[in-house]
Amino acid sequence: MRARKAKPVDDSETPVAPAKFHAGHAPCNISPRAGARKGWQNDAEHPLLLAYAKGQLIRGDERYSSRQRFDAGDEYRRLFELMHRSGRDSTDIDMVSSSTALSITQEMMDAIKRLAAIEAGLKRQDRAIIRHVCGEGWWPSEAVRQACGEHYDKATVPSF
């Protein structure tokens, strides 16, 4: 018996929607090497990414572009995640007896030192906002209201 060959379908022009489509999804271009020309990007994956996608990182010191602000926030996020990494592999289900002391890796120490240096140059409110949004994943509006007070209900984006 002869095997049938499937007809190739050219669906590279129309990206298939994500499994759970929501307002944060936006079409994006993908390299043809990845197998498709278009795909979906989840702009709401992290509040910083959504703020960048909405153009909310434009304001501020004119020396820095919104992309530079996003990159700085993303680096803060990376360092924050390194600082809080447990060091234990989640696939390792064997019970290991150890002391209650936490082991801190050199990578974690470097991240802590770098974050301390970054935060040393910030004002108290700015430090709280950046830590909440970039590190902990809060929405900018919540972080600004928590750091600056509830009277910032209309001016959270410029403050962020």
What does residue 144 show for φ and ψ, rounded to 5 degrees?
Answer: -70, -45
83 contacts 109 by C-beta, under 8 angstroms: no
- The pLDDT tens digits for 40-78 are 555 557 888 888 888 888 887 889 898 999 999 999 999
Greatest C-alpha distance within the chain: 76
pLDDT value for 93: 55
Q: Is 26 helix (H, G, I), strand (E, B) or coil?
A: strand
What does residue 38 show for φ and ψ, rounded to 5 degrees?
Answer: -130, 155
Would you give the DSSP letter of residue 46?
Answer: S
- The pLDDT tens digits for 74-97 are 999 999 999 887 656 555 555 555
Instruction: Tell me the mean pLDDT in the region 100-119.
Output: 84
Q: How far apart are CA 48 and CA 108, in angstroms?
A: 23
pLDDT value for 5: 60
Q: In degrees, to the nearest 5, what angle opens at C-alpha 8 toward C-alphas 3 and 12? A: 155
pLDDT value for 42: 57
Q: pLDDT band for 159, please (50, 70, 90 cuts).
A: very low
